[in-house]
């Protein structure tokens, strides 16, 4: 059974845990850095990235997470995507700098700051519902980054190796295809690790 951590310092973690459980994996609410040990993957939920950074200042949590995301599958949604990005703008902000993307925080302004869109993506199974809440915009992606979905020509779901990021909230839709994709990445990573230890 896959063990998937959900960073539970603040923000939208409960619905992520429910999605993970619905797909048959074990969900662990991570509130301390020592809980990162032994996880097959981690979800960093939406919320407020500045608040996350403040919580992560304690107990060496930021450094532990920084080490973790270098080689363990991690999925950042919204504020979580901001934490994974190499470059954060509006305003410039500290991050884990694990994915070669530039994000602009709160990029849709007051009028359009929250919206639900349904669009085709590269995921099989037809159009995907995407819930945006004070979303950032991915304004640049590096060559290693694969774009899986877009909104108005800007990437909203991206993958770089073992890392996945969404600027929307897949945990708020009944469709679990994005979480299933992440669990597939985590499972592949786990079996590759088992093989290299054999």
The residues assigned a catalytic role are 78, 169, 171
Interface with ligand GLN (CB under 6 A), residue from 33, 41, 47, 170: 47
- Asked if 170 interacts with ligand GLN (CB under 6 A), we say no
Please identify, among the stretches 34-42, 44-52, 148-156, 180-188, the one whose residues bind ligand GLN according to the rule CB under 6 A: 44-52
Report the nearest approach of ligand GLN to the CB of residue 63 (Å): 21
Q: Is 173 in the site for ligand GLN (CB under 6 A)?
A: no
User: Could you say whether residue 79 binds ligand GLN (CB under 6 A)?
Assistant: yes
- In three-state form (DSSP H/G/I as H, E/B as E, the rest C), the secondary structure along the chain is CCEEEEECCCCCHHHHHHHHHHCCCEEEEECCHHHHCCCCEEEECCCCHHHHHHHHCHHHHHHHHHHHHHHCCEEEECHHHHHHEEEEECCCCCCCCCEEEEEECCCCCCCCCEEEEEECCCCCCCCEEEEEECCCEEEEECCCCEEEEEECCEEEEEEECCEEEECCCHHHCCCCHHHHHHHHHHHHHHHHHHHHHC
Instruction: Tell me whether residue 106 or residue 122 sits nearer to ligand GLN (CB atom).
Output: 106
Residues 96-155 that bind ligand GLN (CB under 6 A): 105-106, 133-134, 136
Q: Does the protein bind ligand GLN through residue 73 (CB under 6 A)? A: no
| Binding-site sequence positions for L-glutamine | 47-49, 105, 133-134
């Amino acid at each position: 059974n896959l063990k998937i951590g959900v960073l539970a310092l603040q923000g939208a973690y409960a619905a992520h845990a429910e999605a993970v459980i619905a797909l048959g994996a074990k969900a662990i609410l991570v509130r301390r850095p020592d809980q990162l040990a032994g996880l097959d993957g981690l979800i960093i939920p939406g919320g407020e990235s500045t608040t996350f950074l403040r919580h992560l200042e304690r107990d060496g949590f930021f450094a532990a997470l920084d080490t973790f995301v270098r080689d363990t599958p991690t999925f950042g949604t919204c504020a979580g995507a901001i934490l994974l990005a190499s470059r954060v703008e509006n305003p410039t902000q500290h991050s884990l700098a694990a994915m070669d993307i530039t994000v602009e925080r709160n990029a849709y302004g007051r009028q359009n700051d929250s919206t639900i869109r349904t669009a085709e993506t590269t995921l099989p199974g037809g159009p995907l519902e995407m819930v945006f809440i004070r979303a950032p915009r991915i304004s640049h992606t590096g060559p290693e980054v694969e774009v899986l979905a877009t909104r108005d020509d800007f990437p909203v779901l991206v993958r770089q190796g073992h890392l996945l990021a969404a600027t929307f909230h897949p945990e708020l839709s009944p469709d679990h295809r994005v979480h299933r994709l992440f669990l597939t990445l985590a499972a592949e990573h786990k079996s590759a690790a088992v093989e290299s230890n054999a």
